[in-house]
Amino acid sequence: MKQMKIRANAKLNLYLDIIGKRNDGYHELKTVMQTINLFDELEFIISDGVGIEIFGNKSDIPLDENNLVYKGMMAVFDYAYFSPGCKITVNLKKNIPSQAGMGGGSADCAAAIIAMNELFHVRLDVEEMRTAAAMCGADVPFFIEGGTALCEGIGEKITRLTPINSTYFAVAKPSKAISTPEAYSLFDKNGSYGSGDYEAFEKALRGNNNEALGKAIYNAFDRFCELDAVENVKSRFVSDGALGAQMTGSGSAVFGIFDDKQKAQLAAQNSGCEFNGVYIPTNCGIEII
């Protein structure tokens, strides 16, 4: 029997602009994603037998072929023309909230890809794992390495950026949320392409200036999500000293940027949300422990 334990880190979209729509219906993005030290925990166990079995700690996640962990494993096997010939058991402990825009499912999928590559000695390099990841979802390739990265196209074109240091993120997720398809539909009705100022954001990022970064964060979905709860959390964060506050992804989690950990903790506690916490940037998406 072989086993592997992995932490799959969540992400925040520090900058998210929609710059166009392709003929196949997918939207072209320009987004900067940042992994943080909030993570799901996965254990992969290889034993005698056949099939894939997934166990989880949340009742609202599928435990069959619809789970992104399952899809990640199958993507490796399909890409490498490989059949495992054994039983694979996965124990999944979800800590990243769902419908938050924090990439929990995508991170778990990337964890499965890395686990299969390591446990079965498939020998895929980073680019090959990203190619397999792109078969599963737009955000999944980013999590293969994580850190701070510019993601373009539908998320598959990845450029590593200057890591963020000395930053605290207060994060809170309102109970209300909208689905990703609904968020895109609202944007298509009311939004305009390429409305963000990426040059200002990149300058703030390069300068490692939290105050400038707080002013430069941007999310094209934010104006059209139509969730008062999101606006309330943003306002509370700013009132408690955030240098900037924004929704991540298609929501509904909100993050605030802080220089001071205690201020961030107070803001998270004052958010009025059941899920809240303070996190720091990480330089990787997946950690084998």
Q: Which residues contact 268 (CB under 8 A, 6 or more apart)?
A: 170, 171, 172, 276, 277, 278
- What are the two backbone dihedrals, phi and then psi, of residue 248, each rounded to the nearest 5 degrees? -105, 140
Tokens 């900067």 appear where? 32
User: Measuring CA to CA, which residue among 35, 27, 25 is closest to residue 287?
Assistant: 35
- What are the two backbone dihedrals, phi and then psi, of residue 204, each rounded to the nearest 5 degrees? -65, -40
Q: Is the Cβ–Cβ distance between 80 and 122 less than 8 Å?
A: yes
Q: Which of 17, 139, 222, 240 is catalytic?
A: 139
What's the N-to-C CA distance of the chain in angstroms?
Answer: 17
Q: Which of 11, 30, 173, 234 is catalytic?
A: 11
Tokens 């030290």 appear where? 37
CA 215/CA 196 separation, integer angstroms: 12
Annotated catalytic residue 11? yes
Annotated catalytic residue 139? yes
In the structure encoding, which two tokens stand for residue 16, read together?
A: 């998210």
Count the neighbouring beta carbons within 10 Å of the beta carbon of residue 174.
23
In a 10 Å sphere around its CB, with 0-12 CB exposed, 13-18 middle and 19+ buried, how is residue 89 labelled?
Answer: middle
> Which sequence positions are flagged as catalytic?
11, 139
